[in-house]
Amino acid sequence: MKTRTVQRTQLVPHTIDGRTEMVLDRYSVEVPVPPRDWDRTVLAAVTAAAAVIGAACVVWSTASIGDLLARATVAPAAYAAATVFDLVWLSCMALEWLARYDQARAALPRRTGHWALAIAMAAIAAHGWVGDQLAIGIVGAAVSGLAKTLWTVVLRHHAKPLDNRTQQWVDAQRAQAGGRLAMVAVRRELTRAEALVEAERIAISGESGDLPEFPDTPQDGPETPEEPATPKPYGPMTLTDAVRTALSAGITDPDAVFRYVRKVADANAKEESVTRTLRMIRKAS
């Protein structure tokens, strides 16, 4: 059995002048080397070969279809459009790969890829026919067919189909996760709609900006200075709006502004954020 040397460490006691400390000690061990997984190696090699063949197929079909389309338009546009023919069925194969655990979802990209391949092969054959070289056109179309066939076989080897019960369980879990994800956007939309309705109501009723009045002089207010009354919030408020509202209501103490922001805007607001916003607003005014 083949082995390989592995460096490991362990804590060992080490004493100097009567004081013992635990230190790391390195040592080597021989561990068995697992046998080579030839199946995996062969599959990786075939996948790499399929990738190379696919790249060559794209180059050939782009050159062929691009030359065909260049008869009717400028060459850059013709060759750019020619790349679409192969990129469509290659993209469908990528989607089929992503759905390799769900055969029902993989069926649509597989069928679409076959149709896209047939159209690309027909375009390559048409290029040969237009140039009085039908045989070359047919052989060139076969290149795309062989590349697609090889990729189909490779994907079948990589696919891991699930049994019926496991597939139902996966579908149920996917549906629950998808529902929770969808509710994020739905709640955001509802919150936005409710905020717009509330803002419209406030604008129509004329309540906006009606903040409580505070004494202009110390004689009009209480004899002992107290923190101004907390203004009533109107509609959804951002952190910046809450700071402005507090300042306009006469609340100048940073701690009082912070408490007001947490009460009417964001219960999880950070003190440094409120302080920074307060400083920016005062500097701007």
- Domain boundaries in the chain? 3-32, 38-158, 165-208, 239-284
**What global pTM score does this model have?**
0.53
Q: Which amino acid is at 151?
A: W
For the stretch 56-99, pLDDT in tens is 888 988 889 998 898 888 888 999 999 898 889 889 989 988 88
Report the pLDDT value the prediction gives residue 230, as an integer from 0 to 100: 53
| Tokens (6 digits) for 11 | 């804590």
How wide is the angle at C-alpha 37 spanned by C-alphas 33 and 42, nearest 5°?
145
For the stretch 190-214, pLDDT in tens is 888 888 888 877 777 765 444 444 4
Report the pLDDT value the prediction gives residue 221, as an integer from 0 to 100: 45
Q: Is the dihedral of CA 88, 146, 108, 51 positive or negative?
A: negative
| Tokens (6 digits) for 137 | 């056109």
| CA neighbours closer than 13 Å in the CB half-sphere of residue 93 | 22
For the stretch 242-265, pLDDT in tens is 777 877 777 778 888 888 887 777
**pLDDT bucket at 115, cuts 50 / 70 / 90:** very high
Provide, rounded to the nearest whole percent, the portion of the chain with pLDDT above 70.
88
| Tokens (6 digits) for 111 | 């069928």
